[in-house]
């Protein structure tokens, strides 16, 4: 393997760790936000979820994906191999539902939380459309990351 390919592989793994920090970190924050009754604390939790998403999950998702697709061809693998097809499909599904379902729901949650925190001190239930689905998809992202790691390491 050439030197540049090794550096790109390192960046790919670093970006994968970056996305993992966002996905698994948001799982912990989301669990705590569910337990909170204060609108101010819920708003802070929603802002934290948004920051984790924007700083870790999205950049890690984009960078690891682009480098991963490049590394398939640079290292001599083919897209016709089963593990590459499965990895590509899982990644593309994760990318699409993160971009078009999770991101808008977290943006709405951030905005609704901020508005509720200003209006009242108590918020046992803040109704954010799509937030439950976004949480489920974030948990599915965690599972997909584990499957992708398995496929990348074992290459069955």
Q: What is the pLDDT of residues 44-101, one digit of tens each?
A: 999 999 999 999 999 999 999 999 999 999 998 999 999 999 999 999 999 999 999 9
Q: What is the pLDDT of residue 40?
A: 84
**Mean pLDDT along residues 143-150:** 96
- DSSP-derived secondary structure letter, 64: H
Between residues 28 and 129, which one has the greater pLDDT?
A: 28
Instruction: Give the tens place of pLDDT for each residue, 99-142.
Output: 999 999 999 999 988 887 777 655 546 667 788 999 999 999 99
Task: Identify the pLDDT of residue 131.
Answer: 87
DSSP H or E stretch at residue 31: helix 3-35
Q: Using a CB cutoff of 8 Å and minimum separation of 24, what contacts does 72-75 make?
A: 74/5, 74/8, 75/1, 75/5, 75/9
Give me the pLDDT at residue 2, please.
85
Task: Give the pLDDT score at 60.
Answer: 97
The answer to whether the beta carbons of residues 46 and 109 sit under 8 Å apart is: yes
Give the per-residue pLDDT at 142. 96
Separation of first and last alpha carbons in the chain: 21
Give just the sign of the alpha carbon dihedral 41, 44, 49, 52. negative
Give the pLDDT score at 125.
60
pLDDT for position 122:
56
- How confident is the model at residue 121, as a pLDDT? 55
Instruction: Judge residue 27's burial from the number of C-beta atoms within 10 Å of its C-beta, 0-12 exposed, 13-18 middle, 19 or more buried.
Output: middle
The structure's pTM equals: 0.89
Region of 76 on the Ramachandran plot (φ > 0 left; ψ -120 to 50 alpha; else beta):
left
């Amino acid at each position: 393997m050439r030197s540049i390919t090794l550096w790109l592989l390192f960046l790919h793994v670093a970006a994968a760790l970056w996305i993992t920090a966002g996905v698994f970190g948001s799982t912990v924050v989301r669990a705590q936000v569910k337990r909170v009754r204060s609108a101010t604390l819920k708003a802070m939790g929603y802002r934290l979820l948004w920051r984790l998403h924007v700083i870790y999950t999205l950049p890690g998702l984009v960078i690891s994906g682009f480098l991963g697709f490049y590394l398939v061809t640079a290292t001599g693998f083919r897209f016709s191999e089963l593990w590459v097809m499965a990895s590509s499909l899982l990644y593309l599904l994760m990318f699409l539902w993160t971009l078009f379902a999770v991101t808008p729901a977290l943006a709405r949650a951030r905005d609704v939380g901020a508005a509720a925190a200003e209006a009242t001190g108590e918020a046992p239930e803040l109704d954010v459309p799509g937030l439950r689905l976004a949480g489920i998809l974030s948990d599915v992202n965690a599972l997909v990351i584990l499957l992708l790691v398995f496929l990348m390491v074992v290459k069955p």
